Amino acid sequence: MTVNFADALTSGTPGTIKTSSSFSASTPAAGRDTGMPLVIRADQAYYWSRAWQQGEANAWRDIEAGDFDVYDSPADAVRGLHRVD
């Protein structure tokens, strides 16, 4: 099963995603190269949701701004997660 992302964006019902049993290769949306497929597999739908993509964009902005921590070991990373600034 696949999800037609273009239909999901225009379905008029927030939070709903229409599905299709067909599959199509990635195609630029609305004539511009967004890197986002118009039809995706249903088991990957969450990763193309607006919420997930916004989180991805935020993460890239943090990386580009140098707003991240580097740890020497997994134990240091866990301590960093528990740290309160």
DSSP string, the chain: -EEEHHHHHTSSSTT---EES-------BTTB--S--SEEEGGGGGGGSHHHHHHHHHHHHHHHTT-----SSHHHHHHHHH---
pTM of the model: 0.48
| Reported confidence tier of residue 37, pLDDT bands at 50, 70, 90 | confident
Average pLDDT, the chain: 73
Q: Which of 39, 42, 13 is nearest to 24 (CA)?
A: 39
Q: What percent of the chain has pLDDT over 70?
A: 58
Domains contained in the chain, number = 1
Residue span of the structural domain in which 15 resides? 2-82
